[in-house]
Amino acid sequence: MSTNAHPLRPLRWVTSSKFTGLELIDQTQLPNDLTHLKCGTVDSVWHAIKRLSVRGAPAIGVAAAYGVIVALNETGASSDWRTTVNKACDYLATSRPTAVNLFWALDRMRAKAAELDESSFDAARAALLAEAHAIRNEDAAMCAAIGNAGKHLIPEGGGVLTHCNAGALATSERGTALSVMYAAHEDGKQFTVYADETRPLLQGARLTTWELMQAGVDTVLICDNMAAVVMREQKVQVVVTGADRIAANGDAANKIGTYGVALLAKAHGIPFYIAAPSSTFDLSLGSGDEIPIEEREADEIRAFGARLTAPEGVRVYNPAFDVTPAELIAGIITEKGLISPVSEANIRETLAAADAPSPAGPA
Ligand code: MRU
């Protein structure tokens, strides 16, 4: 049975005499240093999201929700708290464009503020903090339910390939794609996870292997350009990745390179699954063509840390995400169950259903 006892928590709200605000594991420092970052200004939350100290679609949403409370703490008691909330939401929404969870969480904070008609500052702050906690706890519960909904897809004695990091670090806890693997592992299944290193920022090498190894899951790191060989050598029987935004037709944006992995899986007859909570769906978009794709700094590709690995000034194209078309996706594992085959009708029907019963309560 799954225990849902994964210990890694990448972000938490802290209230103490020394510091009140958002505390994050600084993911830019992993795996070499496990350091925590204290965000006591809305600007520090924005920069933590922008530079990927906190990253992964659900974690970005949770961080932004707490960022609104950080903004209220910063301005202090004021009858004009509503302006602070709206300004903070507008600002935090500019940090990264692709993960829809960011906008989903900020919309929830705005909607909560709109409900609080004539509230005092203290009452409004308390209600908004409760909403941020709810967003965090619901995310944790969705991740646990995703694990249970997808664990049967992990082959006993086989291999799973994943790309980027869709683990505990990318969410409130447990992750999405990795939650499926943790649940299978906790059930006693034996399998190996092949983690793509995930150029250019190495979320697979730095983060996925780090958290899988801590959980005792058999893990093998490969360069991105080795995925085809691993598939041809029949080392993997299934691919599971996360997503940053899924359009109504099932097209899914995820970390750059995911599309290539899905094409390779198709060529080798290997099923390719996406694992994502309902907060990652954007049913306002008809297809993946409408998903905004973040482009990041050229030096992420031109350099390795401080050291240049390409001629100074060489032109670079650095899209951080790509879109995998729905026809390459065997199924989408959600907290409400597995959507397969992937079609707009099946997506809408599954998302409209009541939550699947989850054995895990919120943290
Ligand atoms: O740029 P990142 O590291 O935020 O990209 C993260 C991903 O692409 C993840 O796969 C996705 O957000 C899903 S996280 C559960």
Tell me what pLDDT residue 2 has: 46
**Ligand 1 atom closest to 321 (CA):** 8
Residues 266-288 have pLDDT tens digits of: 999 999 999 999 999 999 999 99
Distance CA 189, CA 271 (A): 19
Characterize the bridge pairing of strands 307-308 and 321-324.
unpaired
Distance CA 328, CA 4 (A): 30
Tell me what pLDDT residue 7 has: 85
- DSSP lists the bridge partners of residue 254 as 322
Tell me what pLDDT residue 357 has: 52
Residues forming the active site: 244
- The CATH number given to whatever domain includes residue 278 is 3.40.50.10470
Tell me what pLDDT residue 354 has: 78
**Ligand 1 atom closest to 164 (CA):** 10
Residues 154 and 119 in one domain: no
Q: Which of 6, 255, 258, 295 gets mutated to test ligand 1 (max ligand atoms within 8 A of its CB)? A: 255
* Among 95, 129, 144, residue at a domain's last position: 144
Tell me what pLDDT residue 49 has: 98
Residues 215 and 177 in one domain: yes
- The CATH number given to whatever domain includes residue 140 is 1.20.120.420
In the chain, the number of structural domains is 2
Residues 163 and 304 in one domain: yes
Number of H helices, E strands in the chain: 12, 16
What are the structure tokens assigned to 74, written together? Answer: 């910063």
Residues 125-140 have pLDDT tens digits of: 999 999 999 999 999 9
125: number of Cβ within 10 Å? 20
* 3-class DSSP state of 282: strand
Residues 171 and 68 in one domain: no
Q: 57 C-alpha vs ligand 1 centroid, how far in Å? A: 5
Q: 256 C-alpha vs ligand 1 centroid, how far in Å? A: 10
Q: 98 C-alpha vs ligand 1 centroid, how far in Å? A: 10
Q: 166 C-alpha vs ligand 1 centroid, how far in Å? A: 6
Tell me what pLDDT residue 119 has: 82
Residues 47 and 174 in one domain: no
- Spell out the residues 6+ positions from residue 18 whose beta carbon is closer than 8 angstroms to its own: none
Q: 132 C-alpha vs ligand 1 centroid, how far in Å? A: 21
- Averaged pLDDT, groups of 10, the chain, 363 residues long: 69 96 98 97 98 98 98 91 97 98 98 90 96 98 98 98 98 98 98 98 98 98 98 98 98 98 98 98 98 97 93 97 98 98 98 68 36
Identify the residue whose tokens are 């994964």.
6
Residues 285 and 168 in one domain: yes
Distance CA 84, CA 62 (A): 18
* Among 120, 144, 168, residue at a domain's last position: 144
Q: Is residue 359 part of a domain?
A: no
Domain of 115 in residue numbering reads as 11-144
Distance CA 43, CA 70 (A): 9
**Ligand 1 atom closest to 254 (CA):** 8
Q: Which of 50, 55, 102, 196 gets mutated to test ligand 1 (max ligand atoms within 8 A of its CB)? A: 55
DSSP string, 175-226: BSHHHHHHHHHHTT--EEEEEE--TTTTHIIIIIHHHHHHTT-EEEEE-GGG
Residues 341 and 234 in one domain: yes
Q: Which of 202, 244, 332 gets mutated to test ligand 1 (max ligand atoms within 8 A of its CB)? A: 244
Instruction: Give, rounded to a whole angstrom, the gap between the first and last alpha carbons of the chain.
Output: 19
What pTM value is reported for the model?
0.95
Query: CA angle, corner 176, sides to 222 and 249, nearest 5?
Result: 100
Residues 201 and 300 in one domain: yes
